[in-house]
Amino acid sequence: MKKSEFIINRKKGVLVVYEGISGSGKSEGIAKLSHYLSAMDIGSTVIEWNSNARIRKWVKSLNRLGLLTSMLYSVLQWLSFLLDYWRIILPALRKNHIVIADRYIYTGITRDDVNGAGRWLGLLLCRLVRKPDVVLFYDTQPKVCHERIRLRGKALFHTNKKIHTNELIKNKELHYLEEMRRAYIRLFAVLQQRSMNIVFVNEESVNVHTSVEGYIYRKRDYFNYRVSNS
């Protein structure tokens, strides 16, 4: 999707969402956009998925005790999202700020899908929360993502017990990443039909953040953004 094809969201503020499987390169894209906005003296708020420290602690404790089911994990991640949404995301948008989301509701939907918790709760919430102005889906090949995760030295976390216990699956982390990519593609194929601004970013994409910058400037024709968060 070219920036000239973007549909302008008439609601206040700009919500830019970065999605993709772990290791897909979202963080680099967010850093580029944040740097650009900062250089232009335009304020922005960056929010990470599941940023609530208390809920993350609960998840770790329940997982350590062997009590963390896919459904319980689903409920906790949605609780964390809603707390961030009502406390941080929505207030910032109402103040006409730019919000950059390192994962959004689509992460929860695809994880629930792959983990076996079902997508119904996420799809319901999808109708109730703010639709993003632009979604950047980093569609990096799972093998590349898996190698990046391996180099980080950090294990990939998920609650899909069928994958954990299936002895026929040799590389369980890679298999999970492949399932997540398929779930993302299924979801975004549907959402693209609903007039959403979804950009598929791959390894050949160049300066994709400039498309978002162009959208922000176009939307400034409708609203005057605050140039700082103070």
- Average pLDDT of the chain, as a whole number: 89
Amino acid 206: pLDDT: 61
Kindly report the CA angle at 80 between 187 and 103, in degrees rounded to 5?
40
Q: Categorize the per-residue pLDDT at 5 as very low, low, confident or very high, splitting at 50, 70 and 90.
A: confident
Closest-CA residue to 112 (of 96, 123, 97, 100):
123
Centre a 10 Å sphere on the Cβ of residue 14 and count the other Cβ atoms it contains.
Answer: 25
* CA 192 from centre of chain: 16
Cα 144 to Cα 174: distance, rounded to the nearest angstrom: 10
The counts of H helices and E strands in the chain are: 10, 5
- Decide if pLDDT at 161 tops 50: yes
Return the exposure string of 169-179: e unless at least 16 CB atoms fall within 10 Å of the residue's CB, then b.
eeebbbbbbbb
Tokens of 122: 């996420």
Interhelix angle 105-115/120-128, nearest 10 degrees: 170
> What percent of the chain has a predicted confidence (pLDDT) above 90?
66
Provide mean pLDDT across the span 63-82: 96
H-helix or E-strand containing 103?
A: none
Convert the pLDDT of each residue in 80-129 to its tens digit.
999 999 999 999 999 999 999 999 999 999 999 999 999 999 999 998 99
Task: Kindly tell me if the per-residue pLDDT of 209 is higher than 60.
Answer: yes
Q: Examine the pLDDT at 139 and tell me if it is beyond 60.
A: yes
Q: What are the structure tokens assigned to 68, written together?
A: 């963390």
Q: Are the beta carbons of 20 and 138 closer than 8 angstroms?
A: yes
Residue with tokens 């994409």: 205
The full set of domains in the chain, from first to last, is 14-228 (3.40.50.300)
